[in-house]
Amino acid sequence: MNKMDRDVFVVADNVFTPLGKTTTENFGNLLEGRSAVKQHADRAISAQPFFASLFDKGTFPENDHYTKFEQVLIASITDALKQSGLKAPDQENILILSSTKGNVSLLETEKHSPELNERISLSASAKLIAKHFGLVNQPIVVSNACVSGVVAIIAAMRLLRTGQHENAIIAGADTISRFILSGFESFQALSPGICKPFDKHRNGLNLGEGAGTIILSANQKYSGNTRVLGGGISNDANHISGPSRTGKELSFAIDQALKDAGVTAEDIGFISAHGTATPYNDEMEANAIALSGLESVPLNSLKANYGHTLGAAGLIESIVSVQSLKEGLVLPTLGFEERGVSRPVNVAKSISKITKSNFLKTASGFGGCNAAIVFGK
């Protein structure tokens, strides 16, 4: 087999969030319709109460060596590696780290210095984590707003296809700080309650903390596992924060992902949407899905369960969807009651069964970035 034709398989995964510390625990809570989003009154983050999904205080104790952001990544990677049976120091392994803001919270607590500038860099965190696990190859960082998690998986898929590495450990995380919350407040993008993706009465997003890790391999011994079939990336070149109104650019990424995967719209069993519950994102995403001929395919958003976990969102939602594919179930969109987008997309309101073998994951973010990826049995 030509190296460029190599299949890429899911070996192991972990979701580490306020809803659970393993993929199984998270999926069980999602089946029960649970949400980790609740009202918080934490003056270290905001002068006003806000709705978000946050880890309980004390989950990650003060540590001189690793920040909270790094600790949640280490916890997630540890569980996934344990499942995989891979030996981390193997030369065939590559670590890809996905995050939007990383250690930006240190700007709020530490004195500015050249040392702090280095410490808050994502490359510094990636090197620390690689060293923790004994990984020998220089890690790769993907930080592209809220598509970071999906782009990281696509980057790993492409690396494994070319034969540059046998296995990839893709991990993403973000934690919420005053800096991050105030940024979304400045856009008036936060919901005063639990968000309602694609709903007529949606009024903004919730933020969330969490990490996800997925381990991929091109080794044929995993040929019975779920596969990463193809991906596509595009950019609106429209506005620094507002998405394209037409959805054509996300639709382009979706079409590229389908083509790369060698499947058509008719082969997709469900869509794991970005679904932030902001007026413009959901409208744009619905347009894109319809433009790609997927308006009748069941779709869900997990933002009302987890909040928007930023650089971890694409990973967490992909991993949950891989589990959904295994179970043959589409999870509902918590908070959705009445369609509030102009295109008649098929938003899942309850748990339903699927019979098809593939799903599509979409993501969009600030700067007009879009990404889509297809997984299949």
Whether residue 82 is predicted with pLDDT greater than 90 in this model: the reply is yes
Whether residue 293 is predicted with pLDDT greater than 70 in this model: the reply is yes
Residue listed under structure tokens 């295109």: 343
For the segment 39-59, what is each residue's pLDDT rounded down to a tens digit? 999 999 999 999 999 999 989
Whether residue 317 is predicted with pLDDT greater than 90 in this model: the reply is yes
pLDDT band, very low/low/confident/very high, at 61 (cuts 50, 70, 90): confident
Cα–Cα distance measured from residue 374 to residue 158, given in angstroms and rounded to the nearest whole number:
13
pLDDT band, very low/low/confident/very high, at 4 (cuts 50, 70, 90): low
pLDDT at residue 191, rounded to an integer: 97
Residue listed under structure tokens 């991990």: 171
Whether residue 60 is predicted with pLDDT greater than 70 in this model: the reply is yes
> Does the predicted model carry a pTM greater than 0.95?
yes
For the segment 334-373, what is each residue's pLDDT rounded down to a tens digit? 999 999 999 999 999 999 999 899 999 999 999 999 999 9
* Mean pLDDT of all residues in 281-308: 98
| Percent of the chain's residues with pLDDT above 70 | 99
Cross-strand pairs, 359: 270, 375
Cα–Cα distance measured from residue 317 to residue 303, given in angstroms and rounded to the nearest whole number:
9
Kindly indicate whether the domain formed by 3-221 is annotated with CATH number 3.40.47.10.
yes
Whether residue 232 is predicted with pLDDT greater than 90 in this model: the reply is yes
Whether residue 241 is predicted with pLDDT greater than 90 in this model: the reply is no
Cα–Cα distance measured from residue 355 to residue 328, given in angstroms and rounded to the nearest whole number:
7
One-letter amino acid at 83 equals: Q
| Percent of the chain's residues with pLDDT above 90 | 92
* Tokens read off for 45: 């983050």
pLDDT band, very low/low/confident/very high, at 5 (cuts 50, 70, 90): confident
Whether residue 169 is predicted with pLDDT greater than 90 in this model: the reply is yes
Whether residue 9 is predicted with pLDDT greater than 70 in this model: the reply is yes
| Max Cα–Cα distance, the chain, nearest Å | 59
pLDDT at residue 194, rounded to an integer: 98
Strand runs labelled E in the chain = 9-16, 38-40, 50-53, 93-98, 140-142, 167-174, 207-208, 210-217, 227-235, 268-272, 298-300, 329-330, 346-347, 352-353, 358-365, 369-376
Whether residue 1 is predicted with pLDDT greater than 50 in this model: the reply is no
End-to-end CA distance of the chain: 20
7: left (phi over 0), alpha (psi -120 to 50) or beta: beta
Q: Say which residues have a Cβ less than 8 Å from residue 361's Cβ, sequence separation at least 6.
A: 150, 271, 272, 314, 317, 318, 321, 372, 373, 374, 375
pLDDT band, very low/low/confident/very high, at 2 (cuts 50, 70, 90): very low
Residue listed under structure tokens 């179970």: 327
pLDDT at residue 363, rounded to an integer: 98
Cα–Cα distance measured from residue 286 to residue 280, given in angstroms and rounded to the nearest whole number:
10
pLDDT at residue 244, rounded to an integer: 87
pLDDT at residue 3, rounded to an integer: 47
Provide CATH code, domain 225-376. Answer: 3.40.47.10
Q: According to CATH, where is 3.40.47.10 located in the chain?
A: 3-221, 225-376
Mean pLDDT across the chain? 95
* Tokens read off for 339: 């369609």
Cα–Cα distance measured from residue 81 to residue 345, given in angstroms and rounded to the nearest whole number:
38
